[in-house]
Structure 1
């Protein structure tokens, strides 16, 4: 597992999220630019991901320690070796941090965690994220039609994944 010491990857650092990072996480998650694309969590849900054994909650930072986003992985103890990218939220967009973070997640999931499958879901209307995932080698598996209710209306989720052999080929 990832230690508390930051891991550098593609000019970014990734470290376990700490309790004192929750203000940044919640502010980023609830920002008007991000809120339409995220199913918001309570502070307790984030704490569960920070301290739980099946999840990994990571802060994404620049080399000087400035937070630029966070991500959450789940399924770390799955006997099926299926890891879910639950969330990736970049506060400082348009600088390549999202793409670098996806590469980190792929590398960590397939090389360190020995995952067979890395998957995620993305809101149907989140074109920017879908493009990032597709350009990173994720394949669309299907749609969960109108499966979540947000502000009185139903939204659909697109399920995307990458298999270990596709990651090796994609490199």
Structure 2
């Protein structure tokens, strides 16, 4: 399946696809953001980001069909780290794309951007996500008590990190 997955930089034509996910509370709760945005705001954010080196946003394709959005955010050039985040269209969740898509992005960060560390935040009770990230090589670095408000209550959150020296491609 990994051969059928491809990352492509985010293009303006992808904004409708992302808008559908960014207004879905079930998705945005796990991005720790409010499911509220407008297409106009997204266009402005996209245009402002064109001149920024602080993040890389990708669309994930499977056999020429958009299935997800992922990226490296808050790229710190001095300290060589960035935050990873991923979301899938609900029609494409649970199909085994998450681990290979995460690997593609991690490898881009390490091999193209020369990052030393990629980190992420995940609510502790999202055991499937924690397991997936551990499968790729991320390790739990800490726990933040009641850090994010998700689905009507506060939840403990894990910070996970992956160092370049610890990453095993294809793991």
| Closer, same or farther: CA 118–32 of 1 in aligned 2, 3 Å | same
List per-residue Cα deviations over 1:90-134 (Å, max 9, x = no partner).
220222211110110121111111111111111222222111001
SS of the residue corresponding to residue 125 of structure 1 reads coil
Report the equivalent of 2:53.
Answer: 53
Matches of 1:48 and 1:151, distance apart in 2: 31
Normalising by structure 1, we get a TM-score of 0.80
1:18-167 residue pairs with structure 2 within 5 A?
A: 18-31=11-24, 33-40=26-33, 42=37, 44=41, 47=46, 50-51=49-50, 52-64=52-64, 66-85=65-84, 87-91=85-89, 92-150=92-150, 152-167=152-167
Matches of 2:26 and 2:149, distance apart in 1: 19
Matches of 2:122 and 2:47, distance apart in 1: 22
Matches of 2:21 and 2:82, distance apart in 1: 24
Contact 1:122 1:158 in 2 (8 A): yes
SS of the residue corresponding to residue 87 of structure 2 reads strand
Q: Which runs of no fewer than 5 residues in structure 2 stay unpaired?
A: none
Report the equivalent of 1:3.
Answer: none
| Closer, same or farther: CA 125–35 of 1 in aligned 2, 3 Å | farther
SS of the residue corresponding to residue 80 of structure 1 reads coil
Matches of 1:71 and 1:12, distance apart in 2: 13
The number of equivalent residue pairs is 161
Range that drifts further, 73-82 or 134-143 = 73-82
Residue 50 of structure 1, CA deviation = 4.4
SS of the residue corresponding to residue 79 of structure 1 reads coil
SS of the residue corresponding to residue 75 of structure 2 reads coil
